[in-house]
Amino acid sequence: MIDREHFFTTVRVGLFHGELSQPQVDGMNIILDAYEARNVPRHFQAYPLATACHETAFTMQPIDELGGYAYFEKNYGPTGRNPKRAKEMGNIHVGDGAKYHGRGFVQCTWFINYSRATKELGVDFVNHPELAREPQHAADIMILGMSEGWFTGKKLGDFFTPASARPVPARTIINGADKAATIAGYYGVFQNALSPPSA
């Protein structure tokens, strides 16, 4: 079991300037609950939290990717700037770019990932992609997606073992090297927060 008192005391000081809002606490509790329900190994727990911290701009609540219909179609649609990539990722119809834009704690994007989440979790994210923003679903998608390499082919096990951690290159699980060092810094705080106080 995760020592929640120690966890929140540590992250409150280390990342949130001494204050946590109720939505921030609620969001992190949902992720911690999902870890416990899925028996996520301790060495896999800190990095998804660090990623969620960055992706949600410290709100610790699932979000929609910023942008409107035109932006999403340009970036993810089959007639946008990279139609080959869009089609490889399952966005084959006009409108799919907007429909399957990023949502959640780590921005689940593309039809292929919504389809996989539907199969893995038994929730119809394909026809109701907005459900990926619901906190419990967002936590499950984040955990499974990062553990199994849904998003880029890279997964937590490529960078974290019980004996070693490589949080900087782990950014490739989600998004290349963007803000990799910053997120690695958040990882260090979450790792301390998740470690038993006596450790």
Domain boundaries, the chain: 4-64+134-194, 69-124
**Residue 165 contacts residue 43 (beta carbons within 8 Å):** yes
- Residue 198 has a pLDDT of 66
Length of the chain: 199
* pLDDT at residue 199 greater than cutoff 60: no
The gap from C-alpha 196 to its chain's centroid, in whole angstroms, comes to: 24
d(C-alpha 130, C-alpha 176), whole Å: 25
pLDDT band at 191 (very low <50, low <70, confident <90, very high): very high
- Work out the percent of the chain whose per-residue pLDDT is above 70: 99
Per-residue pLDDT, averaged over 134-157, amounts to: 97
Q: Encode pLDDT of 94-133 as tens digits.
A: 999 999 999 999 999 999 999 999 999 999 999 999 999 9
Name the residue among 39, 31, 30 with its Cα closest to residue 1: 39
The mean of the pLDDT values for the chain is 96
Per-residue pLDDT, averaged over 125-151, amounts to: 97
d(C-alpha 141, C-alpha 63), whole Å: 13
- Residue 58 has a pLDDT of 97
d(C-alpha 112, C-alpha 153), whole Å: 13
